[in-house]
Amino acid sequence: MPQSMARPAPPVRGARLVRMLSLFGVAASAACADTGVATIKVVSATYGENCGARPGNATRDLASQCDSRRVCAYRIDRAVLDDTDRACPKNFLSEWRCGDAEFHTAALSPGLETGSTLVLTCVPPAGAGK
C-alpha cells in the first residue's frame, strides 16, 4: 500500500471503551429518567415512639439505607438505634414517599428484636391483589 494511503492507527482500546461506556451511561441514564420509575424517599422513622422516644430518631439511618431504591429491606439493629431503655418493648414507625403522589406508612409491633426486617417499596402492585 502506498504511503499516502496508509490507514490511521486505531484508537487505543481503553480510550475507545471509555467513550463507549460514557455514551452508554448517558443513554441509560436518560432511559431511566424517562420511565418515571418512583423511588423511596424516607420522610420519617421513629424507633420506640410507644416508649416516648424522640420522633424521627431513626430517620437518618433508614434514609441512608433506603433512599433512591425501589425496594428496601431495612434490618432493625438495636446497636445502631437508640435503645438505652430496654425495659420498654419498642415499636418502629416509618413514612416514605414514592415520587410526588404516593405516601406510605408501615410499622413493626412493640417488642421487635434485632434482625427484624421492615420492607419499604415503590414497586406498583400487580396481579389479582392490586
> Does residue 104 form part of some domain?
yes
> Does residue 92 form part of some domain?
yes
Domain extent, residue 110, equals 40-121
> Does residue 99 form part of some domain?
yes
How far, in Å, CA of 64 to CA of 18, rounded?
A: 30
Q: What is the pLDDT of residue 85?
A: 76
Residue 9 has pLDDT above 80, yes or no: no
> Does residue 4 form part of some domain?
no
| Total structural domains within the chain | 1
Cell of 24: 452508554
**Cα angle value 101/26/38 (rounded, 5°):** 15
Span 17-46, pLDDT tens digits: 333 333 333 333 333 343 568 999 999 999
> Does residue 97 form part of some domain?
yes
* Cβ-contact 56, 97 below 8 angstroms: no
